[in-house]
Amino acid sequence: MTIHSITPAPKAVQPVSVAVVAAGPQRLASLLEPHLPVPVGRLVIFDAAGLAGTMPTMLGAEVELIAAAIGDAEGETELIRHSLPGFFSLHRAAETLHEIFPGLHETARRSIPVVPVTAMAGRLGAAAFTLILDLPGEELALLSRLERHGLLERVQKLTLRCGAERFFEEAMTADELQEWLAERGFNLTLLISTRN
């Protein structure tokens, strides 16, 4: 008698669509490599600062770079450049951020285009997607927009960078945001806390 041990062939991993929302090349670079799922089928980068330059090359992935912020409707908004290198936001810094960086100040404001949140859905298709979010102070605003338009329920994995304290006007603390997400069915799987 011969005994055969048969294991099923591994299933092919389906490419994942990924949306990245950030501002500027430094923030994009720090997010992409460590947090991208493998394999990526479509990578759509919304860069509010419009400074990312050339698009990253990813073997087998379709990559699109959109130099715009995401809003409820098409239009314009103001991007704030802060005195820390590569630091942009759509919201004014709160007093807690000024306490950490006493010399922090705005160095420039400029008008940038806004694309409607529905543009994200159009570019990613109907399937679930991964969302990587690193736009200081914009976390709750963007996640709320996604929820209103039925897109938050399609997020299969969310990676975001958020302040432990309320560092921007209209922002939430990391704990408040984690609670907001938990109420919507998201489970925390990894927390990296840095205190700089």
Burial of 30 (0-12, 13-18, 19+ CB in 10 A): middle
For residue 30, pLDDT over 70 is answered with no
pLDDT in tens, 77-106: 999 999 988 888 899 999 999 999 999 999
pTM: 0.81
Report strand pairing: 106-116 vs 75-82: antiparallel
Angle at 29 between CA 144 and CA 193, to 5 degrees: 65
**Residue 39, both tokens:** 């394999």
Half-sphere exposure of 71 (CA within 13 A, CB side): 15
pLDDT in tens, 93-148: 999 999 999 999 999 999 999 999 988 888 888 888 888 888 888 999 999 999 99
DSSP assignment of 148-166: HTT-GGGEEEEEE---SS-
Report strand pairing: 16-22 vs 88-89: unpaired
b/e map 94-108, b = 16+ CB within 10 Å? beebeeeeeeeeeee
Among residues 77, 79, 71, the alpha carbon closest in space to that of 27 is found at 79
